[in-house]
Amino acid sequence: MVANSSARLKGIRWWHSPAALTAFFVMPFFLLLAVVTPAVIRTAPVLQSHRVYVTPENIVQGVSLLFALMVGAFMTERFPFRRKLVIRNGALDFLFCMTVAAYLIWFGPLLAMHPEIIMATISASRGAMYEVREAAPNISGVTTATQFGIAYAIIYAMKVFQDGQKLPRRYHRMLVGIIALAVFRAMVFSERIAIVELVVPLFAVYATSKAPKMHVAGLGFKFFPYVLYAAAPLFFAIFEYPRSWINHYVNIYDNFWHFIADRFTLYYATSINNICALLRYSPNPTFRGEWTLNWLYKFPVIGQFLPTRPATKDGSWFLSFLSVYATPEYNNTTGILTVMYDWGWALGLFLMVLYGAIAGISYSSLKSGLGPMRYIYPVFLYSMLEMTRIGYIYDGRAVSVLIGIIFSAVIWGKWQPATPSVPRKARQFSRTGPPPRGRPVRLNAASPVRSRV
């Protein structure tokens, strides 16, 4: 039984809107980074190069691309949906089994043959994390299937928080298991994003079912993007200690918190600086989509037949470029100006409008509780929150989640009318009210009169 979701959506916040999120968070944050990047790059003690490549022209280009995204989202945020797509529980069983199987294939041999390496990584032993990466490298296709855990979390959240379904207990246990696997991956493989890309979509959908309240938690809901980034350094510190501090930087910085503040800001400052360096010294646009179609280049089989991609962070050319112009360790680029590197400014504006339009349609589906696009909305929300650092929506991580959701919708999806049908007798009583107790009711012309007592 599915409850009327429109009655449950009491907590749509301003940041759920892609247009508002861009206007009041992403764009101001981008401008702030553009202002502080020169000082961060010039004073960081760990950078190989202290050259600043960000120019006023780059800032104007970035703002124009974000404005295009905002316009695209604004135009489609009222897109109408007339039917509801409900994904049956079988999808949750499938996604959970695929996620667990992928983790077992990926980490199972390491756990069976060298559990001491895993324990050494968890206990933050020096160098243990790099041993795990060598012993259990990414496996094409298998690593993709681990992302089905996020698809599980999104469909679960829609069922429980939007549709008000009462799921069997095993599905709650499955979600706990998927979260535990993400934490394990973050700890032993040093992928913080494995937790964040799971928790943020869950929270975004959960928030839609909670009415705004004026207390501390309510303010946290209202200003979620700002709270998220305010708390990010502490979360960042938990995983940077075994990853970087004890292995190298303990001998460079005077204390741990100085290291965390510096490294956290460098992740964002170097992302903007790197792409600006590429725009200045690498021929562009390439019209090959090395960044915006990064997922396609990584796709099993298909990626082998695509043109050589010289400028992605996985390619040797880009690492060589950073060795000359920047610092190879900090190899991210933003999800904003990379569009211009691939396709040029004019076509980049069009693609950002398209990006925003899809995000806006998914938001319209979310706030109405109707249509199929609400299931992909959390992926777009997270991609926009991370846009100043990485192009998440262009990466195989995001596309793998979308594949899991689309496959589940095709196989287990069921269309329902926007308003659940009401039995005829209930409709009659809703107009006239139930018959009074103790008075005779004539059922039909041929029926005897019965007395209700």
Q: pLDDT per residue over 52-100, tens digit each?
A: 999 999 999 999 999 999 999 999 999 999 999 999 999 999 999 999 9
More confident residue, 400 or 111: 400
Question: 224, 232, 296, 305: which is closest to 265 by C-alpha?
Answer: 232
pLDDT at 223 over 90: yes
Tokens of 295: 């997922």
> 337 near 59, Cβ under 8 Å?
no
Structure confidence at residue 187 (pLDDT): 86
Structure confidence at residue 160 (pLDDT): 96
pLDDT at 418 over 80: no
pLDDT at 9 over 60: yes
pTM: 0.88
Structure confidence at residue 71 (pLDDT): 98
Tokens of 378: 């959390």
More confident residue, 409 or 4: 409
pLDDT tens digit sequence for 142-185: 888 999 999 999 999 999 999 999 999 999 999 999 999 999 99
> 4 near 420, Cβ under 8 Å?
yes
Taking CB atoms within 8 Å and a gap of at least 24, the contacts of 401-406 are 401/147, 401/148, 401/150, 401/151, 401/154, 401/197, 402/376, 403/144, 404/95, 404/98, 404/147, 404/148, 404/150, 404/151, 404/152, 405/151, 405/154, 405/155, 405/375, 405/376, 405/379
- At residue 31 the predicted structure's pLDDT band, cuts being 50, 70 and 90, is very high
pLDDT at 437 over 90: no
Structure confidence at residue 311 (pLDDT): 53
Structure confidence at residue 453 (pLDDT): 38
More confident residue, 127 or 310: 127
Using CA of residue 413, residue 415, residue 421, residue 423, what is the dihedral sign?
A: negative
Count other Cβ atoms within 10 Å, centred on residue 208.
Answer: 23
**Residue 289 pairs with which residues in a beta bridge?**
none
Structure confidence at residue 178 (pLDDT): 98
pLDDT at 196 over 50: yes
Tokens of 339: 């569009």
Structure confidence at residue 451 (pLDDT): 43
